[in-house]
Amino acid sequence: MAPAKLSGFCKQGNDWLYNARLPSDITIIVDGVKFHLHKFPLMSKCGKIACMLEEMQSIHDRTFTTKLEEFPGGSDTFLFAAKFCYGIQVEFTARNIITVYCAADYLEMTDEYGEDNLLSKAESFFHKNVLHNWKDCVLALQSCESCMPRAEKLHILQKCLNAVSTMVCTDPSLFGWPMMMYGSLQSPGGSILWNGINTGAKIRSAESDWWFEDISYFSVGLFERLIKTMEARGIRSEYLAGAVMYYARKFLPGLGRWQSRPSSKARTVASFSLIPAAVDQRDLLENIEKLLPKKKGKSFCRFLLGLLCVASILGVNQTCLDSLERRIGMQLELASFDGLLIPSFSNSDTLYDTDCVERIIHHFLSSESGLTLFSPPSLDLLSSPSFEPLRKVARLIDNYLAEVASDVNLKPGKIRSLAEVLPDSSRTLHDGLYRALDIYFKAHPWLSDREKEVLCNIIDYGKLSIDACAHASQNKRLPLRVVLQVLFFEQLHLRAALAGCLNVLEAESAPTGQGIAPTEIAGNVTATGETSQRIVQRDGWVTIVRENQVLKVDMERMRSRVGELEDKVSKIKLEMKKVKKSRNSLSSPCIVAGKFGCKPLSKSSDSQTDVVGSTGPTPRPSFEQPHSSRHSGHRKSLSLFRDLTLGS
């Protein structure tokens, strides 16, 4: 190679000239820029120009003018090649290597036209310096937009994509070192070794998303190529989804509502020297949807809902909208109700796009859910996988209905269709439906009782909790017929709940050793407790059962005491009846006194004669008592019965 010279190129207006004593004999036009050069330096290095000049030998003009169409890299890259032909020192960088590589191939600057020609030098720099360095590889990829077809033909684009995909799986602390993998170059203490020498550098545990920022500077087409290359090389789908979500949030400002908290990690070195690519948001969104993996996760579902909202604003094609709705429907149990609040951008008067939500629910019911969950916890997996998806969706839709019910433009038929789209088995309680209808009736006071009754038909009053029944029975916004039905079911709930509590208490307090087999007790508990226990657990009676268990002893005492009192009262009533009969039939005080065990005083001899002459048993002798004590006892007895009579 000739010794380096100072640059002899100068620009005059839109033309480039080489300061030499000989006049220019060839003019080459690249992208409207004229280069006034000399034939010999170019012919000695460029095979394409040499062939062109040989074909023009029949023309003896002293000057030769040609135009290079679709020159890779434009006029700046041709100036680089021209300087190399004149022996001027040039510098290869990561930003110009791919364009220079393509330009050298275009001009056929091979070793056939000179040793260490531009093509061989560019190829050597590309393989030795660029492919083994993350920053240079990313910069080289971003600079290849102007020569993408030729770079693809030369396979250098795919080599860069493969290198980036490989380095994504590698610790970034190794980039720029002589080795690319740890292997035996790691010391027992964890330090990095170079030629057996401990460098003191420790291996860092890098985050899995450290590369998101750098590749987000690529154009949409290049980014799509990179993601597909990574997918083909087996990179985990959650990493690819994270990169796609990061890229979309960067170029779609409408996703700000669904934007996660900014990461506290520092950007890599390459990010400070990159220029964001200009993208078309509609094309970007349609391409992003195709790149998303067929997985499901809580954060991923939220991102899809945000993407659907932005897609409605941008007016993307119907195929993209249908695909997003289908993706969301297949993981609807992971969505949040605020994510479903998609504003209506059509001619509809409603605030939210309820038709879109209804289509999503239909996709959920019709899908077979072949999606698998993301594995890393960073994507917010399902927090409680024990719940059934159908019941989760029912609870989600109930919350959604309660939110959109305040829209005065929402028609009764729409809220009814949204509530009935899910099967009856999806809801164990209808409290959510009742709450939504109550909000709807409050926001639509002009509805007639007939329209309200039609809407209330979607509620199963047997599935309302006791609290909901208590609220509905006093709700003045409900029609009278509905209130009566609620009162009826409220009584059934209370009876069933109380019966369940008593059955559970009796089953738990029944002794096992007094002639009752344990299996019989268990059978009774199972038979009487299964139905009641569901009601007990549903309506909050479990707490009452536990409290009653503490009071079981007191309840037994109360039962025995009540039994004793009932016996005493019954005896007193019988005595009262006897006293009343005696008053009506016998007016003699002697007979009344005899009722109370008092013997009347003996009179004249007539009475004695009667007693002696009688054939009956001999009467027992009477105790002589003063008349005052006998009459006072009689009065006390009568006053006692009078008090008992009044008390009863």
% of the chain exceeding 70 in pLDDT = 66
- Which of 3-17, 177-191, 393-407, 587-601 is predicted most confidently? 393-407
Q: Which residues of 116-125 are buried (b: 16+ CB within 10 A; e: fewer)?
A: ebbbebbbeb
Q: If DSSP states are collapsed to H, E and C, what string results for 473-540?
A: HCCCCCCHHHHHHHHHHHHHHHHHHHHHHHHHHHHHHCCCCCCCCHHHHHHHHHHHHHHHHHHHHHCC
Pick the CATH number of 7-171 from 3.30.710.10, 3.30.450.20, 3.30.70.20, 3.40.50.10790: 3.30.710.10
Model confidence band, residue 275 (pLDDT cutoffs 50, 70, 90): low
CA–CA distance, 393 with 421 (Å, rounded to integer): 11
pTM score, two decimals? 0.67
User: Which carries the bigger pLDDT value, residue 583 or residue 149?
Assistant: 149
* pLDDT value, residue 197: 52
pLDDT surpassing 90 at residue 462: no
Q: Please state the length of the chain.
A: 648
Rounded to 5 degrees, what angle do the CA atoms 443, 444, 448 make? 150
In which band, very low, low, confident or very high, does the pLDDT at 434 lie, cut at 50, 70 and 90? very high
pLDDT of residue 22: 79
Is the pLDDT at 324 greater than 60? The verdict is yes
Q: Is residue 176 scored above 90 in pLDDT?
A: no
Q: Mean pLDDT across the stretch 257-274?
A: 48
pLDDT computed for residue 452 by the predictor: 92
Query: Quick one: pLDDT band at residue 173, thresholds 50, 70, 90?
Result: low
Comparison of pLDDT for 565 and 281, the residue scoring more: 281
Please determine, for residue 305, whether its predicted confidence score (pLDDT) is greater than 90: yes
The candidate with the shortest Cα–Cα distance to 190, out of 207, 178, 204, 180, is: 204
Tell whether the model's pLDDT for residue 463 goes beyond 80.
yes
* Average model confidence (pLDDT) across the chain: 75
Percentage of residues in the chain having pLDDT higher than 90: 33
- Per-residue pLDDT, 236: 87
Task: Note the pLDDT of residue 195.
Answer: 47
What pLDDT score was predicted for residue 523?
45
Q: CA angle at residue 204 from 297 to 196, to 5 degrees?
A: 140
Q: What average pLDDT does this structure show over 480-486?
A: 87
Q: Does pLDDT of 375 surpass 70? A: no
Distances (CA, A) of 235 to 138, 169, 175, 290, 302: 18, 8, 19, 17, 23
pLDDT digits (tens, 9 = 90+) for 628-648: 444 444 444 444 444 444 444
pLDDT (average), residues 518-531: 42
Residue 24's φ and ψ, nearest 5 degrees, are -70, 135
* Distance, CA of 213 to CA of 265 (rounded, Å): 11
Determine the pLDDT at residue 277: 61
Does 574 have pLDDT greater than 50? yes
pLDDT at residue 128, rounded to an integer: 93
User: Per residue in 6-38, is it b (16+ CB within 10 Å) or e — as a string?
Assistant: eeebeeeeeebebeeeeebebebbbeebbbbbb
Partner residues linked to 26 by β-bridges = 37, 64
Stretch among 345-354, 433-442, 534-543 having the lowest mean pLDDT: 534-543
Range in 270-279, 388-397, 427-436, 601-610 the model is least confident about? 601-610
Burial of 578 (0-12, 13-18, 19+ CB in 10 A): exposed
Q: Kindly report which listed range (7-21, 50-64, 255-269) carries the lowest average pLDDT score.
A: 255-269
Confidence of residue 451 (pLDDT cuts 50, 70, 90): very high
Q: Does residue 146 carry a pLDDT above 70? A: yes
Whole-number pLDDT of residue 60: 53
Cα separation, 131 vs 508, in Å, equals 76
566 vs 120 pLDDT, higher one: 120
Instruction: List helix spans (H) across 186-274.
Output: 212-215, 220-232, 237-251
Residue 391 has pLDDT above 80, yes or no: yes
User: What local confidence, expressed as pLDDT, does residue 425 receive?
Assistant: 87
- pLDDT of residue 582 exceeding 90: no
Both tokens assigned to 588: 């003699």
Q: Give 371 or 314, the one with higher predicted confidence.
A: 314
Confidence label for 346 from pLDDT (cuts 50, 70 and 90): confident
Cβ proximity of 287 and 224 under 8 Å: yes
Mean pLDDT of 483-497: 81
